[in-house]
Amino acid sequence: MEMKNQSSVTEFILVGLSSLPEYQMFLFILFTFIYMAALTGNLLIVITITTSTRLYTPMYFLLINLSLINLLSISVSIPKMLHNLLEHKKTIAFLDCITQIYLFTWTLGSEALVLAAMAFDRYVAVCHPLHYTIIMRKEVCVELITGVWIAGVINSAVNTGFVLQLSFCNSNIINHFFCELPSVLKLSCSDISLNETLAFLADIVFGMGNTVPPFLLTLISYVCIISTILRIPSTTGKHKAFSTCSSHLIVVTLFYGTLITVYMLPSTGAVKVPNKVFSVFYTVLTPLINPLIYSLRNKKVKEALKRVLQKCRVFPGSQRN
75 within 8 A of 61, measured Cβ to Cβ: no
> How many angstroms separate the CA atoms of 63 and 114, rounded?
8
How many H helices and E strands in the chain? 13, 3
Residue 100 reports pLDDT greater than 50: yes
- pLDDT class for 263, splitting at 50, 70, 90? low
> How many angstroms separate the CA atoms of 291 and 285, rounded?
11
pLDDT of residue 209: 42
First to last CA, the chain: 61
Residue 202 reports pLDDT greater than 90: no
- pLDDT class for 247, splitting at 50, 70, 90? confident
Helix (H), strand (E) at residue 240: helix 235-243
Half-sphere exposure of 312 (CA within 13 A, CB side): 10
Span 216-244, average pLDDT: 83
Name which residue leads in pLDDT, 9 or 37.
37
293 within 8 A of 251, measured Cβ to Cβ: yes
- pLDDT class for 264, splitting at 50, 70, 90? low
pLDDT of residue 98: 92
Residue 291 reports pLDDT greater than 50: yes
pLDDT of residue 204: 55
pLDDT, the chain, mean? 80
Question: For 153-196, how does the pLDDT look when each residue is reduced to its tens digit (9 = 90+)?
Answer: 888 888 888 788 878 876 888 888 899 887 887 887 776 676 56
pLDDT of residue 79: 92
Cβ-based neighbour number of residue 35 at 10 Å: 20
Q: Spell out where 161-239 has E strands.
A: 173-174
Residue 211 reports pLDDT greater than 60: no
Please state the domain extents for the chain: 11-320
> How many angstroms separate the CA atoms of 3 and 1, rounded?
6
> How many angstroms separate the CA atoms of 48 and 82, rounded?
29
- pLDDT class for 76, splitting at 50, 70, 90? very high
Which amino acid would we find at residue 23?
Y
pLDDT of residue 281: 81
> How many angstroms separate the CA atoms of 195 and 83, rounded?
32
pLDDT of residue 102: 93
pLDDT of residue 109: 83
CATH code of the region 11-320: 1.20.1070.10
pLDDT of residue 199: 55
